[in-house]
A = this chain, B = another copy of it.
Amino acid sequence: MKITILGGGGFLGRRVAQKLAESGELGGRRIESMVLFDLMPPAGLEAPFAVTSIGGDIADLPEAAMPPGTDVVFHLAAVVSAAAEADYDLGRRVNLRGTDAVIDACRRLVAGGGAPPRVVFTSSVASFSGGQSVFLEDDTRQVPANSYGTQKAAAEMLLADATRRGFLDAVCLRLPTIIVRPGRPNKAASSFFSAIVREPLLGLETLLPVPDDFAVWVASPRRATEWLIHAAAMDTAPLGLDRSLNPPGMSVKVGDILAALDAVRQGATALVKRVPDPVIAGIVGGWPAGFNVVRAPALGFSRHEPLIDVIRAFVADDLEATRQDRALG
């Protein structure tokens, strides 16, 4: 089985690659080779199969990124929300033209006699709007309030159509806000949802711009990685025309996150400073508080673990590496 990870140098791409390298298989089939593609060639990977790293522009995808015989493509390459909002052309190029390039690469594989590759695509909760009072259903229409969400929702449609036409076999997962992200605080409006856990665990102060009773739809890096791998191996026949899924994230209150943090490291939340920020609250306040997910669990997507496990997993998987990275930077 041949696998390509587009966005293979990114946070989730890296996790998926590592998980597959550990198991050496996907859906019971042995992995023969893997291509990691990103803007810059991703770092190598210790794996029981050949790994090729390629750098380039997703909108001008080189053939070597999806060689003949490619069975599974994780299409995680994206310009994220703040960047797509700041630069319309860049967002369109990467998030839309990039998806068209993936579709065209699959068409070439099929035209060459190959089977339609499974394409696992990361869409986002940012493709919905609604606000704090709203729990959305599986079939709620996407009315995005940002260019990133628009481009993701449009890309979902293009991938569903390409599936219907037999170019590929898509599963689109609308990922929740991922907590706890390693690294540094960034300019994403959602950055603080990770920072309020990560920074105190590093012994650093951090700001909380929304009230404690603010609700957010989240998933852990471990859960998101597992979902992506499940999407790559699942039976897609039951999906029919609709190739998009809201995976079973968790609707939590900011206060729940802080309580879980204190349970893992007593007193850590003393470093969280409540400083209301109407701009950030305005952006994240437009996202739905959560989803009533029925379809994805029925299709085998695993339910979310409790918050306390999410924070313990961050401590186990990422805290030390984050500390070292930031000491170096």
Contact = CB atoms under 8 A, between A and B. Distances in A.
Interface of A: 88, 92, 100, 129, 139-147, 150, 153-154, 157-158, 160-161, 164-165, 241-242
A100 B89 CA distance: 10
A142 B143 contact: no
Given A92-B100, A140-B141, A242-B143, A160 B164 contact: no
A161 B142 contact: no
Contact of A145 (B140, B141, B143, B164): B164
A129 B165 contact: no
Contacts of A241: 129, 143-145
Copies of this chain per assembly: 2
A33 B327 CA distance: 65
A120 B200 CA distance: 52
A145 to B, nearest CB: 6
Nearest to A92: B100
Nearest to A100: B92
A161 B150 CA distance: 7
Nearest to A91: B161
A141 B143 contact: no
Nearest to A88: B165
B164 A158 contact: no
Contact of A158 (B145, B154, B165): B154
A165 B141 contact: no
Contacts of A147: 161, 165
A157 B144 contact: yes
A145 B88 CA distance: 29
A153 B157 contact: yes
A150 B143 contact: no
